[in-house]
Amino acid sequence: MMILLEKHTGLAVNPDDVTSMCYSPSLNGGKWLIITTRNGQDLSVKHSPFNGGTNVYELHAQLLEAL
């Protein structure tokens, strides 16, 4: 099962490949969800819940539930 991380890019991840997640602040006060995969790759998803963007807090909960 894949979980869609960003609608506009189609970026998705298999929850079985996720090893860690953390929030990271951006310089302009926004937030990013950093997802580290089993192969060491970091996937960064910007918190942009408006106009069809990604809510990283909901995404984090969805990934935790899938683990």
Instruction: Give tens-digit pLDDT for 8-27.
Output: 899 999 999 999 999 999 88
Q: What is the mean pLDDT of the chain?
A: 94
Q: Which domains does the chain have, with CATH numbers?
A: 3-66 (2.40.50)
pLDDT of the residue at 40? 97
Q: Predicted confidence band at 29 (pLDDT cuts at 50, 70, 90)?
A: confident
pLDDT of the residue at 28? 83
Per-residue tokens: 67: 């683990």
**Rounded to 5, what percent of the chain is helix, strand, coil?**
20, 35, 45
Q: Predicted confidence band at 51 (pLDDT cuts at 50, 70, 90)?
A: confident
pTM of the model: 0.89
